[in-house]
Structures are given as structure tokens and as C-alpha cells.
Structure 1
Amino acid sequence: MKNQSSSKSAKSKAPKVIMNGVTYLTKQVETSIALLDSSEDSVVLDALVYLSLYADIHENNLIYIQEHGLLQKLLNLLHRNANILRVTLKFLGMLLGIEEVMLELNQNTYDEKIIELSKVFISHHDSYVKECCVSMLAKLAASSRIVTLIFNLDLFAPILHIIEKTVDMDLLEHTLELLLRLVGALAAVVLPESFDFNVSVLVGLLNNEKKKIAHLSFQVIQKLTFYCLDMIQRLFRRVKLIEIMLDIVTDGNKQEYHDIAFDIIFNSMKSKETSDYFVETMEFLKFCQWVKTCPDKYVLPCILVLEKLTRIPSRRQLIFDFSVEESIISFLKYKDERVLNKTCEAISNMATHTYCCEEMLKPALLKKLFDILAKRDEEDTGNEVALKTVLDFNRLNLNTLDMIHKTAGHKVLLRYFQKGIGYISEESFLGILDILYKMSLCPQFQEDLVTSSFFEKLLNLFRTASASAAISACEILINFVHTPEMRCVFLLLDGPGIFMEKVRNPKDIKLMKTVLLFIHSSLVHDDVVEAFLRSKLIEVLKGLPAHLKEKMPLATKILLLIYKRHLPLKFFETHRLDITDKIQNMFYLINGQWQAPFPLFKDLEVSSISTAYVIYVVDCSYDLKYEYEYSGSGSISPGKISSERTVSTLSRVSSSLSSYFRRGPFHLNYGQLSPDPFLPTYICHVSKYLIQASTTRDKVKILAKYIEAMLCEPVEGYIKLEKVHHLKLHVEILKHKLGSNMIPIGYLRLGGLCERALIFKTIADKCCIPASLVKGTESFYWNEVLLFDSPPNNGKLKLYVVDLINNIGDLLVVGSRAANQYCNKPAWNG
């Protein structure tokens, strides 16, 4: 603005100057400008001198003659002799100090003149001319457009020659300025094709006494290293540039160069030629010692250097050998978050080195990392670099878990865990889950995790998080299924329903397998099993597609284990109890076509069941305080098992027992399940007869006769329908007397296929007779026993159906016509 106002003033009033007795008139000035076009060198030279003297008097004079076309005329003189050229270049240098002149030269119309000026610099041998040219080009190069314009000219050769040879500090300064402009241009990427220079000269200028030259040298090197050109970096490596920069940053007397020295180091480390070679030098070791006590303002760049080196796997061993990890750990004492983050990254990088991981992993280090995490947690920041460092140690060193617990770090991790994936990344969250999973495996650590909020969070994760997080949550829950606290939360929050929803919609096979593993692990706990059964576990598992069952054989195994633990359910679902399925107390059987889902025993006790159904209950838990002694005579001989006398004896025994217990010391629980004192006594009584038998065949026949005696009143001549009616009437009387549909089987005095087969299986299990219980179509029930073939010396086992209705005690080979007719099957199996 000042120059513009001065220009206006010069136009309004032509200057008239008197200096040393000489008067400079406007007409003479304008004449001199015109004479610059003369072909006579002496005339041009005199005019230039006159104008030069006039311009030196006052700034307005320079502006005045510039406005009268001096610039164009001066540019036309670049091809004249050396004397004219010297004055011309000096004059042009003065004009470049005017803003309007610089803007004017930046127009396309002067491009040829600028190129001509550059060629003068390249080809002219006069040192003064070169100095003036380089000074002007350095100023013009402030424009990126002009830099691009002159870059393709062979300027580097003369520039580098001057730098190497000149002793003129001013020329050197201007040359460095021009070089800085040129290497700062985008076109500098072509340097490998033309740059041929002894960089040791440039590096040597870093110690030049003239500060301006030293600064320019630093800046040029900074620009050259910025491009990471292998050829240039190779040259710098030869002259040990990084070592020099390390010496500079550790020299307290060169603080003014510290920042740019760090920049040069960072630039050099980006090139494969100079990224890490200096690790083996003494300068680097000196630097590593210096960083432990360096001024705070250099802490960040120092850890940046070390962190970059730790990223290089091939250098970690050397860094470990030089104990550089101690220098890295020393940065944890600072509070700057950027410093701490980079320190944690460096520690994580070094932790991948086996020996370094063992050396660095100390309680004090973990304590510091957890202090950082705790502070950030209080400040509600999700910065997780320190967390990642802890997770890396956990992944790489088995001792980490114990140290985490000793330093109470798990409490910090639990707070991060409660905040969830929205607070930290999923990767870090999964890392925390991995630590918690490992803790859940160790009894000494489990106690610190057993809280309701912990289990609630895990269950919520399983329900809402990604498959990976859900799998980890499920795996942790598996390790706590033995704790009442976990099962309480699991059942309270409908964990079985949440888990079964995943099974119903199988989207991830691994997650499905983990869910099945949880269910399998919980099968020892009745409360959890019952909850899963109420959530239709059996129905869902049976309905899984064949290809999923093939991939997840655990589903079939779970079904088998549940059936093994819950025999009433197995018989309801499969219509069969095998020989290995031993009936225990509170086995129950629904006699009839039950259409609803299978009811649990607790449901039967508290709900009203339609009177159309009869539920037979096996209960051997009644405590016999004294043993009934039959006073009658006679015993059962195995050899006479089919005699009338044996049947008569068993009938008298049954009648005597029934009469005795009708007046026995027990009471009914009307409306609920009543105790059964009969069944345990029957078992105790018949076992005495079974002991007398020498073979299992004989035991089967004795037991069949015993049951026939128990469940048949001495009434003859009834046809089948009458017998069925008589049985139904008997059962209805019992239901009325007990006030319940649940009838203990010991109360039965009459029995058809169902009743006899159930009692046979119950007593057979108690007396070690290998028998099964099978239900066929149309409510046909029968028992199969496993016996040696007759004669027994062939050593072959066969299954036989026991006849409990027609020819009591007969054994029918399974699959035979007689057996199929008894079981209401087709005469022959295909």
C-alpha cells in the first residue's frame, strides 16, 4: 500500500532533485530511459549510470522511472556486453524490491526474459554477473510458477558448482536460496536424473560461521530428505548425515537447529536407505542415554524416533542388546498423552521380541500402564494405546495374567469391560474378554469376577454383540456355570430363552457350537436344565437340519445326556427305556395320548391336569421303619415257577401285603403326590424270592409271576372289555381317593400292559435284571430282557419279550411271530 501511494504521488508531481550541486530534471530522466534503446553501448551505459544515480537518491525516484517503462528496457539489455549487463542486473535487482514489479514479472509475458536471465546465469563466466543473476532468480523463485518455468533448465550444475567453489559468502547465500527454492518445487522428484553433487560440501556448510548460510543449508537438506529419494539418501548415508543430526540434537549449544535436525532424521527414516542403519552407531547410543534426561520439549520427537525403530522387526534384537528398552520405558514418567501413546506403541512393538518381552514385563511397568488407563477412564476418554500394550503382553507372555492380578489391573479392565464396545474398539474389547476368559479358568482369579453385574453384562453381550464377542462371553459363562451367583442371574434374566434364540436362528456355526458347549456344561445343574427344557431345548435340537447336526455332533450328545438324566422325558420322546436306563425315584409316565409339551414334575405338582390323563409315579423313597414278615408257609422254587402252588403262594403274599398296608402307619397327601410305602416293600419282599433263583431266566419268570399276583384280583371269567373297565374303575377310585392324577404305582392292585410293564421295569432295575421298557403303537407296552441263548453254553445274548398278560413269564424272542403278536406288531419284520 505504501508503494502504491508513493507511485500515485510520483505521477501527480514530477520530481526535481538537486544533489551535490547537480540538478536532475524530469526531462533528462525520461531522455535517459529512452536512450536505453540505443545501439551504442557507451550511450546505453551513460544512461544506465545516470538513472542509477537518480534512483539511489530516493525510493520515489525508482518508482517513477519504473512507471516510465524501465523494466522492459532493462530486460532488453540482457544480451549486451558485461559492463552494461552488470549495471542492468544491479538495476533489476533494485526493481525486484518493488511489489508491483514482482507481480508484473510473474505474468506470462515475461517468461522468455526470465528464461534468458536463467541462461545468462548458466553460461556467463563473470562472477559478479552470476551473483546478480542468482540473487534475482532466488527472489523470482518465490513464485511456484516461475520455479516450474526455470526448473527444466540446467540450473543445478552452476548452482552446485558455485556452492562447491565460491568463497564469496554473499554469492553462496543467494545460491543456497535459489537451490532451496528449486528443491522445494514439486518438480524436484526428477532430481535422480540430474542431481550429481558432493553432499559433503552441503553438510559441511551446516557449521558455517554465517548463520544465514547454516540455516539455508539445513533447509536445503531438509527439503532433499523430504522426497526420500534413494539416490540422495544413499549419498547422505555415506557422509553420516543422521549421525551428525543426532550429535546436533544432543548438543545443548545448538538448540536453534534441534527442530530442523529432528525433521531431517524423520525424513531420512522414511527411506529404506537410511531408515535404521544408524542404530549400530555410537551417536545413536549417546542419543538413547540423552533421551532419559532431555528437556521436555524434545521428549515427543525422541520417542517418535525410537518408536519408528521398534517397528522394524530386524532391529529389535539389536535394540534389545543395547538396552534401548530402558530408554523407552523412561518416557512413561511424562504426562503428555502423545508421548505416552507413542511410548506404549514402542513397548508393544518390542514386546513381540521374546526376550525383550520377558525383560520388559515387570509389575512396575504394568502398574504404570494401568495407572494411565485408570486416569483416562476417570477423564472419560477411550484412548486405548496403553490398553493395547497390556493386551499385547497378555497375548505374548503367560506371566502377564498373574501380574495383572497382583497389580489390581483386572479392576481397571473390568471398568473398561462394563463400558463396552462403544467406549473402545471391538478389537480391544475382545482382548479384554480374552484376559477375563483366562482369569475365569483359574480358581484363584475367579473370585474377583463373581458379581451379578459382571454376569449381566456378559449375558447382554451374548444377546446384542457381534458373533466374536458373543462367543467370548459364552466361553466365560461356561467357566462360571458351577457358581450359584451366575446361575441365579442367568435364570433371572431368561438366559435359557436368550441362548435358545441363537440356536433357533443359526447364523454362525462357531457361536452355535459354543452355545451347545454351555448347555452341555450346565447339564449337571437341575435348575438350569429345567429352564432349558421349558425353553423347548429338546424340540429345537430335534428340529435342527441334518447338515447342522453333522457339523455339531454335540447337539445329539446333549439330547442323549438329557435323556439319561431325565428318563421320564426320554421315554416320552423315544418311547423306550433301555437296559442301561435305570429307573430312579420320581420317574413318571403319562398313560394316554399327551398332546402338549412334556410337563416337568414341578409343573405336575402345582398345576391341574385333566382327569382324562393318568400319571403313574415311581417313588421308592418311603422310609421303611420296620420290615413286613409274611407268616404264611411256602417258598418259590425256581424249578417249579409255573406250578399252581407258586401262583397261589404269590397271590396270598400280595393279598396279605395289601391288607397289612391298608391299616399301616402312613397318611395320604390329598390333592398332591402321596407317599408310596407299598413299592419299596414289594421290592424288598420279591428280592428274597429272586435270590433263590439260579439263573436270570428264572428271575424273570419269578418277577413276572409276582407282578401277575400283585395286579390281578382272584376274579375269573371276565372278558377283555370287562377287564379294561374294571381297571379303569380301579384307577378312577384311586384318583378320587388320592385327589390327584398322580398315582404311585405301589397303590395299584389291578394292571394292564402299561402298569405291569412299568412295575416290571422298576423292580427289575432294583434287582439287577437287565430289562427295558418299550411303548408301541396304540398304548401297547412291553418289556425286553437280555439273556443268554438257550442252551447257555453257546455264549450268545438275545433279547426276549416278557409275556406279562397271556402266558405269564414266557420269553418271546424279539422279532419272532409270537413276540410281534404280543407287541401288536406285524407278524414279520421286513
Structure 2
Amino acid sequence: MGKKVKKESASSCKETFEPLPIELKSPATVMLLLSSPEEEVLVKACEAIYKFAERGDENEVAPLGLGALEPLCQLINHNNKLVKHITRHHEDTVVHEFATLCLVSLSVDFTCKVQIFDNKGLPSLIQLLSSPDPDVAKNTVETIFNLVQDYPCRQAVHELGGIPPLLELLKSDFPVIQQLALKTLANVTTDKDTRTTFREVQGFEKLMDFLCNEVNVCKGRGDFSDLHVEALQVLANCVGESESVHLIHQGGGLTRLMQFVLTPSGPEVQSSAVKCISRVAQNSETRKLLHEQDVEKTLVELLSVEGDIVKMSACHAVAAMSLHLASKDSFRDLGGIRVLVQLLGSESSALREAAVQALCNLTKGSRINAFAVYEAGGHEILVQQLHDSCPMMVVHTAATLANMAEQEVIRCSIVSQGAAQALVEPLKSVNPEILVPATLCLAALVCNAEARAELNSAGGLPLLVNLLCSSHKEVRQNACWAVSVCASDESIALEMCKIGALELLQEINQSVNRRSKFSELALARLLDANLSIKYSLTGYLTSTDITSDGFYDAGKLRAGQKALTLEELSKQPVNRHQPIIAVNTASEKGKWTEDDKYKDEDNQKAQLDSATQRSWMMMCDASLQSLVTKATKSILPLNDKSEQYTALARLVSQAMGGPVEMDKLHEFPWELHLSELKFALQSNVVPIGMICKGIYCHRAILFKYLADRIGVSCTLVRGEYNRAWNEVLIFKGPPSVPGCSPQPCRYIVDLMHQPGSLLKANSRAAIQYQTI
């Protein structure tokens, strides 16, 4: 029975189905054949799908909708163990070849990539990287390259152990396979974990072997420098971390890299090698390692080679290495700065930009290097480059000039080349990347009076003031710094106040988020240059705030209220408000002369009659000039400070109506007197020398002005309800006690009730004088 069964079985196996030729026209039917157990059918089905997908983008996507990906992913790992004959093994390879060939076409589509990944196609593909068949290997690595354009696949290649077989493909005899492997490695090594694995499997060493064995690799196959460019890209990814660089350095990798840089090769390869050095130089620790390898000498040599592409890469490397202090000196000593200045004249805009970036870093924090650029004539070319249309050129140029302008001799030369005017155009930009160095450069240059005048005449002040409103913190701070420097010029400060700088700075300083030391300094400097506005805004002038002709008191300035100039105030119609008290002793020939009776009624009438025919700005306050002369002659010779303050107080009191008892202050007709002056002058502006009846606020201003003219220190403080006073410092102490120096004591000067009395600050008498 057993033998019979065996015989029947054997007889059954010998029976074969006659070949059935079928002509298929529907892609869906071909998809069904992918599940066939016959290798020959599978091969033909895969070949048909590949040819179909190759015809266009729509055909590539069509098999996806028909469910081709799942069987194809299974076929790339196809292996029929029942087939033992050599020809049958060959058919397995053919199946792999056509299956992977189909996947190459499909993997360029994003949706297909997702399905290949979801159907576990990547593990099988990684296994096929080691296939002895070059066509299978080529198709496989190309498919993987397409897949790793997306991060999940990139990470999966590392996790599934794909790095070692990819490195092994570098030994292939086929450049196309090597190139695809390098492109894939360049992509996957952008991931930090992958770089760690790459380092652990000696990836750097294998790539260096690949690069340094150029003759053996390329022998008899022509120029394959593009492979070296791809390999250097992988290296550049791997040398961006200090840990990797240290391990590479310990194995002699940096030395080999430096040798490769100097090895004669094509410009593109040499440029890529220098880019690797630039990548190493991104870290402070690794810059030190490169410095120990004398990288500066190599880079300076490369700045003079033929070909802009290598020079440009060398400039970028110099810029990176210049962040290392010792390298700054090395580049200068090796003549690198002079070469870089020469490159500023290149016809290539990209090379000029790279050169100026290197100079920017070389001059930052190095006065010697800045002077070296100046000696090479670099400042002249740099000023011209501020007109360049390339944004990054302007960025690096402005930053370099800012570095150089810290030295006065260089700053004057830069200004003489028209740098302030050249910066006006960059100030119009809305790009913070341009505005940051432009405003910084401007702040450095406007220390020079010529630069301030040039900026003003070129219309740069409104642009600068507008930048105070910038939402970019650094731009706003640099603009504040530039404004504070410009404010050292009184006329420029006045111009900035006219265009709203004062109001903007007040608003900024009221903001918790935008206020800074820069904005506070800018406001303080602007007020220091315009004491009239400072007094109106703050109600306080220090002893170092020296009043002069043109000072005026327009009353207390409310928050947000625009500060008007004296010219603007003088043009307003006469109103019922308190007058603007103005100070002016500028004399004009043929105008009022004074005798000792400088305020008799006839003389005052003459001043009023003359004032009706001229604007106040044209008037000379002869009475005030007479007071200055008297103070100079009678008070300045006094040796004791207390005597000087007392005498000056009595002079002021006498000029403004004499002593007034406190309980009779309401009987003092100062308001009527000032109204009459305003009516007679037909102006809200009243010269202080014309006031014959003045109270606290008027006398305090006159005292401050006269004290400043004769060099006697005092403050001016505004109180409430027309109160104002002057505070002085008097040094008092026991002169006979050894080792004891006189101590300063603060006093309030009485100008109203007992003129000349010095009231100790915070005493009952002083407080009574200061308040109602």
C-alpha cells in the first residue's frame, strides 16, 4: 500500500501543466501576478510594473492604488529554499533586481515612501545592501536614498544597522554605487545619533582612506572628484561636534585632513575640504586644535590660489578661525589681512562678501588688526561697499567699519570718505540684520562733528529717530546709542527734538519691556543738550547744567506733551497763560545801551517800543547784560563762597522788586506786571531782564543764569504753585582740627523774603520757603 502511494505520488509530480501564454493589458491583473509562486512569473510581473511606472509621474502613483507596494516589499526579501539548482538562485537575484527597480521609481513619491516604510520594506532593503549583485545593490541604495529624504526613514536606517553596509559600499567597483552610498550617508549623518554610530564604526577613518587613496580608487576610470566632494560633505557633518573632533584628532584624523587640503586636486574638492575645516572651527575647543595644527598658514596660502571657489571657502574658514584670539594675530603676522583687503577688489561679489566677513571677525576686538586693515587702504574700499546691493555685503561691511571706527585716526579717515552719508541708505532698510550693524557703525562715526553734519544734511536724522520705534531690541538699543552720541551737538540735539525724538524716548522709558540703559542714556543726553526742555520735563537742573543764551522756561511739561522750541512759542498768539521766560544777552550793534539805572521807567519804555517792531529773537536783553556785568565786577572778586551767594541773591532781589514779606506776598503785583509786558511785546515770550517784579520762579532762573555766567555752582529746582529755588553747597568744618576736612552742607538761597539768607536744606525755614 505504501509503495503504491509513493508510486502514485511520483507519477503525479511528473505531470506538468502546459505553458499558457497570456497577453495582459490591465495593470490590476499584473498586480495579481506578484503573488505567484513561480519566479519566472514574478520576474515578468516586476519588469512589466517597472516599465509601466517609468513612463511618467501618473504611472508611478498608479501601482500604489492597486496595492503593489506590499507584495513588492515582500519580494525584495524573496528566497525559495526549495530551489537548489544554480539557475534557480540566479532567478532569485533577478527577482530582487526587478523588485528593487520598481521601488526606485515608486520611492520618489511621498505617499509611496510612507507605504514602503509602513510595510516594513526598509529592513529588507538594508539587508539587500550587502547583495553581491551590483544591480541589486545599486537599486537598493538608490531606494534608501530616496526614502531618507524624510526624517523617520533617516532615523530608522541608523536604528536598523544601515551605517556599516553603506560604508562597505564605498569599496564597490562601481562609482554610481559609491556616489549613492555617499549621498545617503550625507543625508543620514545630519542626525546626531547617527553621527555617534558613524563614529563608533570608524566611519571617519574609512572616509579618509577613501579620500587619500584617490589614485588607487580612480585608476583607469577617469576623474571621479565628485565622489570626493560627496565624501567631504559627510565629513563636514561629522566634525561639527567637539566630542567627535577630539576622537578624530586622537586618531590622527585632523592631521590627515590638513594633508588632504594641501594635496593637489580640483577646485571643488579643495573647496569642500576647506569647508570641513570651517565646520571644525565652529567650536571654541576645536578651533584651538586647528590652531595647534597651524591651520592659519594653510588658509593664508589658499587665499592666493587660482579659482574663486577655493578662495571663498578659505575666507569663510578664516572668518571662523578668527574667533580664536591667537588666530587673529597669526593671520595678521602671515600677511592674511593684506591679502583679504586685495580680495575686496575682486569681480566676484560672493568672494568680496566672504573676504569682508573674514575682515569683520579679524577686526572685532583687535585694534591692531583694525589698524592693519586701515594701513592696507581697506577703509576706502569698505566705505564704497556700503552702496552694494547685496544685503550681507552691507552687513559685514558696516560691522567692519564699526570695529575700525573705535580708533580716532581711523574714524576720521572713514568719515572723510563719506561713510555717514553712505549709511543713510542702509538705515532705510526694514531688515534687522542690516540695521543692527548699520546703527552700530553710525554710533561709532557720529563722535565726529563732520559725520554728524553730513548725516543731518543727507536726511539721516529722521531715519535714525524712527528707528527708536523698532520692535527689534538690538536695533532700538543701537539707535538710542547713536542718538545719545549725536546729542553732544546742541544743534543736532535740537533738530532731533523737533522731529519727535524726545517724545519717543519718554514713551520707551515708560515701558517696562522696551526701557533700557541705552534709552535712558539717550534721553538724558538729549535733555543735557537742551536744558530748557530738561527743566520743563524734569523740573531740575544740576550744578553742572550750565544755562546760556537761548534758555527759556515754558512751564512744566506734561507727559506726552510735545516740547516746542522758543521760535515756535514766540509765533503763538498772545494768550492768558503764564509767559515764557527767556534768557538772551546776544548783543546787536545800535541796540539798547544801559547806564547804572538799568531799569528806570524811561529805559524800560524804550525797550518795549523797540520790541513791538522786532521779533524777540532779534532782541538783545540789555538789562540782563547789565546784570551780568555787575555780577562779574562786584561778586566774582569775593573770596568766600557764602559771601558770593549772599551778594548774588541781593542783586537778583533788587532787580526783581526787592524783598517781599511772606504775609504780604499776595499784595505783590507780579502777575499784572507780566501781563503788561506780554501785551506791550505782543508776545508770550518775555525777556527775563525786563521783569521788574518777579517772584520765586523768576528769581531762581535769574540766580541760576548769573551764577553760571560767573562760575558759581548752584542748582535750579521747580516746585509747585510758581515756587522754584536754588540749592548750593558750602563746605564747612573746623579748620584747626588736624585730619578733618570740611564737609559739604546743602543750603537753599532765599531770594524773596530775606534775600541773601542761606537756609539749611530740610530745615523748617527751607521747607517753608519751598512750599506754600
TM-score category of the 2 structures, normalised to the smaller one: 0.5 to 0.7
1:333 alignment partner, one of 294, 302, 306: 306
How far, CA to CA, are the matches of 1:549 and 1:101 in structure 2? Answer: 66
1:779 correspondence with 2:722: yes
Identity across the alignment (%): 14
SS at match of 1:610: coil
Question: Which whole-Å CA distance do the structure 2 matches of 1:300 and 1:135 have between them?
Answer: 42
Instruction: Name which of 555, 562, 572 aligns with 2:536.
Output: 572
Amino acid at match of 1:520: S
Aligned to 2:344: 370
The 1:326/1:99 distance shift into structure 2, 3 A limit, reads farther
Which residue is equivalent to 2:213? 245
User: CA 1:690–1:401 in 2, change beyond 3 Å: closer, same or farther?
Assistant: closer
Alignment of 1:689-708 (within 5 A): 690=635, 702-703=647-648, 706=651
Alpha-carbon deviation of 1:525? 0.5
Is 1:180 matched with 2:134?
Answer: yes
* 1:181-330 aligned within 5 A: 181-184=135-138, 186=140, 242=210, 245-248=213-216, 254-256=220-222, 291=264, 298-301=266-269, 303-304=271-272, 307-308=275-276, 311-312=279-280, 316=290, 320=294, 325=299, 328-329=302-303
Structure 2 counterpart SS, 1:797:
strand
Instruction: Say if 1:670 and 1:740, in contact at 8 Å, map to a contact too.
Output: no
Structure 1 residues 270-325: Cα deviation after superposition (integer angstroms, max 9, x where no partner): 9989999997799999977762xx6xxx5434554565466456784686489765
**Is residue 117–residue 133 contact of structure 1 (8 Å, CA) maintained in 2?**
no
2:387 to 407, 418, 425: 418
Q: CA deviation at 1:459?
A: 4.4
Contact 1:480–1:486 under 8 Å retained in 2: yes
Report the Cα offset of residue 186 of structure 1: 2.7
CA distance in 1, matches of 2:202, 2:696: 99
Distance 1:241 1:225, change over 3 A: farther
Q: 1:478 to 1:667 in 2, by over 3 A?
A: same
Does structure 1 retain, via aligned residues, the 8 Å contact 2:750–2:758? yes
In the alignment, the residues of structure 1 paired with residue 656 and residue 101 of structure 2 have an alpha-carbon distance, to the nearest angstrom, of 118
CA contact (8 A) 1:361 1:393 kept: no
CA distance in 1 between partners of 2:695 and 2:751 (Å): 12
TM-superposed deviation, 1:800: 4.2
Report the Cα distance in structure 1 between the residues aligned to 2:527 and 2:50, rounded to whole angstroms: 97
SS at structure 2 position matched to 1:524? coil
Equivalent runs, 1:521-670 vs 2, <5 Å: 521-544=485-508, 548=512, 552-553=516-517, 555-577=519-541, 581-590=545-554, 597-603=562-568, 607-610=571-574, 612=576, 614-622=579-587, 654=597, 670=614
- Is the 1:221–1:264 contact (alpha carbons within 8 Å) kept by the matching residues of 2? no
Tell me if structure 1 keeps the 8 A contact 2:341–2:378. yes
Tell me which amino acid in the other structure corresponds to 2:140: L
Written as runs of structure 1 = structure 2, the 5 A alignment for 1:672-711 is 672=616, 673-685=618-630, 690=635, 702-703=647-648, 706=651, 710=655
Q: Is the CA contact 1:671–1:739 (under 8 Å) kept in the aligned structure 2?
A: no
In structure 1, give the amino acid aligned to 2:620. Answer: P
Contact kept in structure 2, 1:310 and 1:316, CA below 8 Å: no
Task: State the alpha-carbon separation in 2 of the partners of residues 755 and 192 from structure 1.
Answer: 90
* Partner Cα separation in structure 2 for residue 800 and residue 398 of structure 1: 50
Q: Is the 8 A contact 2:536 2:557 kept in 1?
A: no
The change in CA–CA distance for 1:578 and 1:363 in structure 2 (over 3 A counts) is: closer
Displacement after TM superposition at 1:260 (Å): 9.2
Q: Structure 1's 681 and 248: CA in aligned 2 closer, same or farther, altered over 3 A?
A: same
Opposite residue 443 of structure 2, the aligned amino acid is: I
CA distance in 2, matches of 1:766, 1:282: 74
Amino acid at match of 2:750: V
Please give the alpha-carbon distance, in whole angstroms, between the structure 2 residues aligned to 1:281 and 1:791. Answer: 76
Alpha carbons of 1:674 and 1:416: their partners in 2 closer, same or farther (altered >3 Å)?
Answer: closer
- SS at 1:804 equivalent: coil
Please say if residues 343 and 351 of structure 2, whose CA atoms lie closer than 8 Å, have aligned partners that are also in contact.
Answer: no
Q: Structure 1 residue 475: deviation in Å?
A: 1.6
The corresponding residue for 1:732 is: 676
**Are the structure 2 counterparts of residues 408 and 551 from structure 1 closer, same or farther at C-alpha, using a change threshold of 3 Å?**
same
Q: Tell me how far apart the structure 2 counterparts of residues 581 and 482 of structure 1 sit (CA, whole Å).
A: 21
Within-5 A mapping of 1:399-438: 401-402=370-371, 404-405=373-374, 417-419=386-388, 423-424=390-391, 430-438=395-403
Structure-1 residue corresponding to 2:190: none
Cα-to-partner distance string for 1:719-738 (whole Å, 9 max, x where unaligned): 9888628x8468736963x6
Partner of 1:25: none
**AA aligned opposite 1:675:** C
Instruction: Give the equivalent residue in structure 1 for 2:750.
Output: 802
CA RMSD of aligned residues (A): 6.6
Task: Report the residue type matching 2:676 in the other structure.
Answer: E
* CA displacement, residues 599-643 of structure 1 (integer Å, 9 cap, x when unaligned): 4334456x2551655444434455999xx999xxxxxxxxxxxxx
Deviation at 1:681, TM superposition (A): 3.6
Q: Given the superposition, is the C-alpha separation of residues 180 and 370 from structure 1 closer, same or farther in structure 2, using an over 3 Å criterion?
A: same
Kept after mapping to 2: 8 A contact 1:690/1:703: yes
Contact 2:312 2:354 in 1 (8 A): yes
| Superposed displacement of residue 511, structure 1 | 3.9
SS in 2 for 1:465: coil
Aligned-partner Cα distance in 2 for 1:476–1:697: 49
Q: Aligned-pair distance for 1:515?
A: 3.0
Whole-angstrom CA distance in 2 between matches of 1:487 and 1:326: 39
Q: Residue 533 of structure 1 aligns to which amino acid in structure 2?
A: C
Q: Please list the CA deviations of residues 152-180 of structure 1 after superposition, one character each: whole Å capped at 9, or x if unmatched.
A: 99xx99xx9xxxxxxxxxxxxxxxx9532
Partner Cα separation in structure 1 for residue 255 and residue 677 of structure 2:
105
Alpha-carbon spacing, 1:240–1:784, altered in 2? closer, same or farther (3 Å): closer
User: Does 1:478 find its partner at 2:443?
Assistant: yes
1:516 aligns with 2:483: no
Q: CA deviation at 1:758?
A: 4.4
* One-letter amino acid of the counterpart of residue 334, structure 1: G
Runs of 5+ consecutive residues of structure 1 not aligned to the other structure: 1-37, 45-65, 70-94, 122-129, 161-176, 204-214, 631-652, 826-830
Q: Quick one: which amino acid aligns to residue 362 of structure 1?
A: G
Gaps of 5+ in 2: 1-9, 22-39, 52-67, 104-121, 145-156, 186-196, 239-243, 737-741
The offset of 1:530, in angstroms, is: 0.6
In structure 2, what is the Cα distance between the partners aligned to 1:305 and 1:255?
22
Equivalent AA in structure 1 for residue 405 of structure 2? S
Q: 1:465 aligns with which of 417, 427, 430?
A: 430
Q: Which amino acid aligns with 1:418?
A: H
Deviates more, 1:789-798 or 1:756-765: 789-798
The within-5 A match list for 1:105-184 is 119-120=83-84, 142-144=97-99, 179-184=133-138
Native 8 Å contact 2:255 2:293 kept in 1: no
Contact 1:306 1:346 in 2 (8 A): yes
Query: How far apart are 1:701 and its partner, in Å?
Result: 5.5
Greater shift in the superposed pair: 299-308 or 266-275: 266-275
Label 1:238 to 1:734 Cα distance change in 2 as closer, same or farther (>3 A). closer
Offset of residue 699 of structure 1 = 5.4
